[in-house]
Amino acid sequence: MKKLIIASLLLAIAVYLMFSSFVTDVQINKYSDIQAVHDQKAMDRGWIPEILPDLAYEIVETHDLDTNRVFGEFKCPDSSQKIFIQQLKPYKDSNDTMQWENFLFKIDNKSHKIKFRNI
């Protein structure tokens, strides 16, 4: 009887640990354009940087509620991209990473996307 109780307890702990490690509070949101971001108040929540260009589109953000980490990307016309980049400053000694407040940006010229994450 004692062995059965111990085995059951160990099994319950193992199941709990297994499920708790696989379940995270990660959420992925997709927005067609900047108006959809405003409608969902994603900037107010800090998931999307307020500096995104008005012509940004195909906006995707992933945030983890447990760690408060945010990752995302968006596209915008070349004319808006140039104006956007002028508002950023180089991040430390990096040639391809720019910063605005607590967000880092990386321009991916191959896919024409701008990727961002919080710091």
**pLDDT for the residue 49:** 96
**pLDDT for the residue 69:** 95
For the whole model, what pTM was predicted? Answer: 0.77
Helix spans in the chain (H): 2-22, 34-39, 78-86
Q: What is the pLDDT of residues 85-102, one digit of tens each?
A: 999 999 987 778 999 999
Q: Map out the domains of the chain as residue ranges.
A: 25-118
**pLDDT for the residue 112:** 86
**pLDDT for the residue 14:** 74
Distance CA 99, CA 91 (A): 5
**pLDDT for the residue 21:** 62
CB 91 within 8 A of CB 99: yes
**pLDDT for the residue 20:** 61
**pLDDT for the residue 23:** 64
Residues of the chain with pLDDT under 50: none
